[in-house]
Amino acid sequence: MFRLVQLLASLALLFSPMAYAQPAAAPPTATKLMDIGGAQLQYVEQGEGEPILFIHGAPQDLRAWEPIRDIISKKHRFIAYTQRYFGTEPWKDDGKQFSMAMLAEDLTGFIKSLNTGAVHLVAWSYGGQVATTAAVKNPSLVRSLILYEPSVNVLAPDSPEGKAAREDRAKILGPAVAAIKAGDPTRAARLLHEGVFQLSPGGFDNEPQTLQTTALENARPLPLVFTAPPPPSITCDMLTSFTRPTLLIHGEKTQTSYKLMAEGMSKCVPGARLLVIPNVNHAGPRQDPAAFSAAVLEFVSASH
């Protein structure tokens, strides 16, 4: 079945005018607020049926999932929220409470507050670490886990794969980290966008305006992301006891580290599947929303 999905992904890319042309849209007007741990988290939902909850990366917010919202909501209840300190809402504090553990606790609280029971959980990049942290701690809240190029490194540090991933991550994140240290989160957002999406220097200025706006509006939390306490450790041994249906996805043309981390994680989770979407990189969910949505819907359908 997954070979069929890969074939469909290739055909979708060849024949769909949406491929590589779908920027994140403006925030949906029908957003709602949910109080989680004293924070008002903005979210959007659409459609009916089994809930699929989407967790964005950084620097992003719920707008990251706009290219696939209509596709997913035709068959399921699509839900996406903006994580604490991300988005455009004012902060109630100075961000000193920010941590990966806090974001994972927010996710757990959000799922419980939906009152839907367990959800299918889909996450992208930095959001993959949030989702994995929450899922491992509270597996009963997760029907299935689908991760697109999660920033979860379970590779042995001294292994060739571990060394290659670490060197690649330093290359991708180094310029943004330097900008944060220099006190310029706006520049960090631009450099991070260029780094993870494999753009040439200055390529941020050629991106669709909606993508630029979303990235710059989410520059505020980047100092928190890069200076937060070390996140809860996620190891291969921990993942061997996670038995929920799990799908790891990476783009065919993505960076070495994202590919290696996805492959490494897929080997740790019992029964996990690994899928490669052709001709896309770290921006896969918006570069080819048809192929990404097909992978999500097929896996959700099979996870019963």
Q: What is the pLDDT of residue 33?
A: 95
Q: What is the pLDDT of residue 92?
A: 87
Tokens encoding 280: 């896309």
| Residue span of the structural domain in which 9 resides | 2-156+232-302
Position 105 in a domain: yes
Position 219 in a domain: no
Position 87 in a domain: yes
Query: What CATH number is associated with residue 27?
Result: 3.40.50.1820
The count of structural domains within the chain is 1
Pairing between β-strand 51-55 and β-strand 77-81 as defined by DSSP bridges: parallel
Q: How far apart are CA 135 and CA 283, in angstroms?
A: 24
Position 193 in a domain: no
Query: For 252-291, where are the E strands, in sequence order?
Result: 273-277
Position 41 in a domain: yes
Q: How far apart are CA 40 and CA 69, in angstroms?
A: 22
* Long-range pairs, 28-37, Cβ under 8 A, ≥24: 28/66, 28/69, 31/62, 34/81, 34/110, 34/113, 36/84, 36/106, 36/109, 36/110, 36/113, 37/84, 37/102, 37/105, 37/106, 37/109
Position 192 in a domain: no
End-to-end CA distance of the chain: 15
Q: What is the pLDDT of residue 14?
A: 33
Query: How many degrees, rounded to 5, is the angle at CA 153 between CA 121 and CA 86?
Result: 55
Q: What is the pLDDT of residue 296?
A: 98
Q: How far apart are CA 176 and CA 241, in angstroms?
A: 35
Q: How far apart are CA 42 and CA 83, in angstroms?
A: 8
Position 211 in a domain: no
Residues of the chain with pLDDT under 50: 1-28
Position 174 in a domain: no
Residue keyed to tokens 């949906």: 28
pLDDT digits (tens, 9 = 90+) for 26-68: 444 579 999 999 999 999 999 999 999 999 999 999 999 999 9
pLDDT digits (tens, 9 = 90+) for 136-157: 999 999 999 999 999 999 999 9
Q: What is the pLDDT of residue 211?
A: 96
